[in-house]
Amino acid sequence: MSKLQGKVAVVTGASKGIGAGIAEHLAAAGAAVVVNYSSSKEGADRVVANIKKQGGQAVAVQADLSNPEDVRKLFAETKKTFDKLDILVNNAGVYEFAPLEAITPEHFHKQFNLNVLGLLLATQEAAKYFGTNGGSVINISSVAATSAPATASVYSATKGAVNTITRSARSWARARFASTR
């Protein structure tokens, strides 16, 4: 029996690419998967169909992670469908490359609102749904966090923030749950 049998995972940004691959892999390992998407319902439905074709359990749920209400809806739907949550994979992200002189407030906020704020909001909400045994949060970053290509200053900054949030959250979890072990 797989270690993920009976587990429930939310994978953000799972309608294509890396997120779709993660969702399908988790399902193949036995987890029921919530395939989150922002705009590609067709892609999310395709991922769900692939998972179900292989005998897995999955559902697609639309949510813009930069919107707190959508984030609450995503986890409420997870609870309603699968009655629990064990794993959150923060994969959703956007990137737009531009040279420093072309960066606008809109360019900045589009990336930070999803890549950083969305990750924080999803993690906060997921923590409310983890059971007494806790849960796992997996944050997807990028080599761009440290390589910082010339036209990726904003994207690189968001991924640097993801790395810092991940380290900080790990320290927070150790301190918070040390007394329960």
Give the whole-angstrom CA distance, residue 63 versus residue 36: 7
| Beta pairing class for 136-139 and 58-62 | unpaired
Residue 137 neighbours by CB under 8 Å, 6+ apart: 87, 88, 90, 123, 126, 169
Quote the tokens at residue 142. 């990028």
152 contacts 97 by C-beta, under 8 angstroms: yes
Burial class (CB in 10 A: 0-12, 13-18, 19+), 153: middle
**DSSP letter string, 52-87:** HHTT--EEEEE--TTSHHHHHHHHHHHHHHHS-B-E
Residue 113 is encoded by which pair of tokens? 């609102």
Q: What positions carry a catalytic annotation?
A: 155
